[in-house]
């Protein structure tokens, strides 16, 4: 006969049968502890890096790059990163690529972007029909004095120019000149309009390189234009 025991020590929970698999319970504790240590040590830097990656990719996660410029529009398909919800989801995707399927919540308020990780970290095993479940609740919070407002505003400006000017290169040049020194129209070639924006990054100003391709023929194979 086996006796099932449960121990509740703060946020820790043990579930095992005496005489069967105590070693695996201990191993679960060790494995979860290793995961917690990794999350603790990497949390702040990964949050910081996710913001840099979104900016370096011109707001897109998994971008299509044409002549070193990241595509925001192809024909009638648009993917302008000018909404906070789109940027927030891209940040979460980057963090999940780093850490796995934990629960992340991202918000912005008063010039700061905040991240909360709130998940159960679990270890599961089964030996000879006996299930071993060990988990701990883990919560970690952080914030960075940065928001994407300047970036979003400038993407909106580019979208307005694209909607107004269409394939009119002179119109593009004039509109970018009117927008000021943070906007630089690079060139138009075969209906591909390339431009650069100066926006605020984590460590000062950065250059965002974007493009709008008005050619409706989609010639990127299996790649998808996505936000």
Query: What integer pLDDT is reported at residue 125 of this predicted model?
Result: 65
For residue 101, pLDDT beyond 60: yes
DSSP character string of 58-105: TT-SS--EETTEEEEEETTEE----SHHHHHHHHHHHHHHHH-S--EE
State what percent of residues in the chain have pLDDT above 70. 78
Confidence grade of residue 151 (pLDDT, cut at 50, 70, 90): very high
Residues forming a β-bridge with 9: 12
**Residues 45-71 pLDDT 10s:** 999 999 999 999 999 888 889 889 999
Query: What integer pLDDT is reported at residue 35 of this predicted model?
Result: 78
| Domain spans, the chain | 4-213
* Whole-angstrom distance, CA of residue 123 vs CA of residue 53: 31
**Residues 172-221 pLDDT 10s:** 999 999 999 999 999 999 899 999 999 999 889 999 999 999 988 876 66
DSSP character string of 138-155: EEEEEEES--SHHHHHHH
Of the two residues 139 and 226, the one the predictor is more confident about is: 139
Question: Quick one: DSSP state of residue 166?
Answer: T
Query: What integer pLDDT is reported at residue 118 of this predicted model?
Result: 85
Is the separation of the CB atoms in 154 and 207 below 8 Å?
Answer: no
Is the separation of the CB atoms in 14 and 27 below 8 Å?
Answer: no
Of the two residues 44 and 62, the one the predictor is more confident about is: 44
Q: What angle do CA 76, 81, 147 make, to 5 degrees?
A: 165
**112-121: average pLDDT:** 88
């Amino acid at each position: 006969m086996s006796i099932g025991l449960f121990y509740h020590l703060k946020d820790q929970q043990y579930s095992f049968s005496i005489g069967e698999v105590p070693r695996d319970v201990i191993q679960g504790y060790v494995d979860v502890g290793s995961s917690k240590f990794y999350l603790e040590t990497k949390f702040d830097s990964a949050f910081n890096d996710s913001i840099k990656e979104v900016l370096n990719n011109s707001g897109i996660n998994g971008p299509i790059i044409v002549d070193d410029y990241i595509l925001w529009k192809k024909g009638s398909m648009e993917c302008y990163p000018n909404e906070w919800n789109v940027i927030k989801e891209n940040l979460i995707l980057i963090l999940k690529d780093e850490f796995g399927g934990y629960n992340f919540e991202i918000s912005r308020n008063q010039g700061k972007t905040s991240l909360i990780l709130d998940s159960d970290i679990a270890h599961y095993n089964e030996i000879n029909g006996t299930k071993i479940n060990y988990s701990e609740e883990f919560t970690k919070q952080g914030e960075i004095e940065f928001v994407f407002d300047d970036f979003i505003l400038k993407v909106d400006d580019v979208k307005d120019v694209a909607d107004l000017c269409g394939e009119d290169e002179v119109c593009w040049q004039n509109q970018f000149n009117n927008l000021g020194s943070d906007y630089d129209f690079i060139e138009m070639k075969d209906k591909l309009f390339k431009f650069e924006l100066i926006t605020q990054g984590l460590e000062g100003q950065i250059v965002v390189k974007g493009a709008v391709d008005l050619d409706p023929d989609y010639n990127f194979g299996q790649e998808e234009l996505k936000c």
